[in-house]
Amino acid sequence: MWNDTYRGKRILLTGHTGFKGSWLALWLTRLGARVCGYSLAPNTRPSMFNELDIAHKIENSVIGDILDRRLLEQTFAEFQPEIVFHLAAQPLVRLSYAEPVLTYETNVIGSLNVLEAARKTPSVKAFVNVTTDKCYENKEIARGYREDEPMGGYDMYSSSKGCVEILSASFRRSFLKDGYALGTARAGNVIGGGDWAADRLLPDCVRYINEGKKIEIRNPAATRPWQHVLEPLSGYLLLGHLLYTQGDKYAEGFNFGPNQDSVLTVAEVARLAVKYYGKGEVIVHKKDDLHEANLLMLDITKAKERLGWTPTYNADEAVEAAVAWYKRFYEGQPMYNFTLEQINDYQEKMEWKKN
């Protein structure tokens, strides 16, 4: 199904140098798409983008800021994309406390710039705008949030993403009656090989393990809907396919999260990392004063019923796959083919479960 949609299509992917963007760039190229990436340079060392030489695996890689409207619109005009995946963002909750203006400029104004650049490009038929589970007004209720519940956010990152959801709905109503089909995708905490961002649980775990240190965690009882990075990406690809082939019928917001059995505490995930790495020790670190939600879940009924999307991995399988990637990397093994193998394995299991 996806091969038929993406093979030979011109796909513009913002945020292609990031963790999720790097995985999506590779998956799209595997599907036969012509990918143009647009993003800032990688901001971690190491980075999956550099380690796998993704700049030379896709058709075009533009290093640019989504706040640079001239370069952004020039890139759209020259590449003439048919489908857009917008992932570029300031994605860190804790950084948003230190850089609130940058967070809002990047996430809100930057998203508007991408939406507008796509509107000025007649070739664009479908647009998947990626936000987050944190876009909801989180009251820490013991059930998943549904797509029609209020946007909000305690911290500046979360509220900026709530603004992006409101912006997307307004932009759709105001400008896209005869334009491209715009959908939004809301996903939560993703894990997988190649993530080295600050304040991420699994990257911190493997760093500690490889440095011979005990794994120190804060807020161990915090509950999150953990999922492998390929899970939400499969949802983005499915949504992009449906927006491209069926238009406005799917031009709305969708949650992509795990099943309830994959909603685990931070401490449980850290212990799974130790289990699959084969070494390490978890200790609780003193919690700081910055607010973080203790409970946040998504209701994925709409994606299941409307899109036919279901999770493929449970949390245990997700951690196992992620740890396998990191172990191989830290052993100095080549990662490009192994990463494609993980994509192939995931897609085969996904298709097997649907048949």
pLDDT digits (tens, 9 = 90+) for 224-257: 778 999 999 999 999 999 999 999 999 999 999 9
Q: Which helix (H) or strand (E) holds 204?
A: helix 201-210
Taking CA atoms, 120 is separated from 76, 112, 139, 324, in Å, by: 9, 12, 39, 43
Cα(298)–Cα(149) distance, rounded to whole angstroms? 11
Fold of the domain built from segment(s) 2-349 = Rossmann fold (3.40.50)
71, 93 in Cβ contact below 8 A?
no
* pLDDT, tens digit (0-9, with 9 covering 90-100), for 57-101: 999 999 999 999 999 999 999 999 999 999 999 988 889 999 999
Averaged pLDDT, 304-326: 95
Residue 313 has pLDDT above 80, yes or no: yes
Predicted pLDDT at 285: 61
pLDDT confidence bin for 108, thresholds 50/70/90: very high
CB atoms within 10 A of CB 62: 18
pTM for the model stands at 0.94
Q: Residues 345, 86, 192, 195: what is their CA dihedral angle, to the nearest 10 degrees?
A: 140
Give the pLDDT band of residue 294 (cuts 50, 70, 90): low
Please provide the average confidence, as pLDDT, over all residues in the chain. Answer: 92
SS3 content of the chain, % helix, strand, coil (to 5): 50, 15, 35
Calpha distance 200→194 (Å, rounded): 12
Q: Indicate the domain borders of the chain.
A: 2-349
Task: Dihedral sign for Cα 24, 166, 71, 176, please.
Answer: positive
Averaged pLDDT, 142-161: 91
